[in-house]
Amino acid sequence: MIRQLERERIEYALAAVRESDPDSVEAQYAAKYRTMLVTLPAMIRTCGLGQSLAHLQAEAADAAGEQRPPAHLVYDQIAGWLTSRRGIYQPDGASLLEQVRSGGFERSAQATDEAQALLAWMTKFADVFLPRAEGGPAQ
């Protein structure tokens, strides 16, 4: 069961990172996306999942001129994993951020663990497939 979950997590993470492959998007976009993946796990550890999701939403709103800001993509990918794939939260209804905010401690802890595990794989794949931003984190 655990091996199957890890395999699903790896496949999801790889597909998610491939959405920002420099062959399909601008290199600058891919580098921003990679930087978010590298910095987000520390933010979740420091601030919590809810505040980190709120940060992604705020950053996506600040970049409203972009077609689909990297922060929006990362938020949607985490939301897809926690809702549709893992079923920790409901895919239909309130936003993931609202569900995290109003959910109980046990569910929030489970979601945080899952988000961190997913981001660990996404970061590994981003290191392999995506360019680094100039002066950005090396990981």
Are the beta carbons of 33 and 78 closer than 8 angstroms? no
What CATH number is given to the structural domain containing 63? Answer: 1.10.520.30
Lowest mean pLDDT of 77-81, 91-95, 135-139, name the range: 135-139
Residue 23 tokens, joined: 């062959």
Half-sphere exposure in the Cβ direction for 84 (13 Å, CA): 9
Q: Could you read off the pLDDT of 1-15 as tens digits, one per residue?
A: 679 999 999 999 999
Which phi and psi (to 5°) does residue 103 adopt? -80, 170
Query: How many domains does the chain contain in total?
Result: 1
Residue with tokens 């980190």: 52
Residue 139: inside a domain: no
C-alpha triplet 9, 128, 26: angle, nearest 5°: 100
Neighbours of 80 (CB within 10 A): 16
User: What's the mean pLDDT when you consider all of the chain?
Assistant: 88
Q: Could you read off the pLDDT of 84-124 as tens digits, one per residue?
A: 999 999 888 788 999 999 888 999 999 999 999 999 999 99
Residue 138: inside a domain: no
Rounded Cα gap, residues 123 and 9, in angstroms: 13
Are the beta carbons of 82 and 115 closer than 8 angstroms? yes
Residue 66: which domain range? 2-129
Residue 137: inside a domain: no
Residue 135: inside a domain: no
pTM: 0.88
Lowest mean pLDDT of 20-24, 37-41, 74-78, 100-104, name the range: 20-24
* Banded pLDDT at 66 (limits 50, 70, 90): low
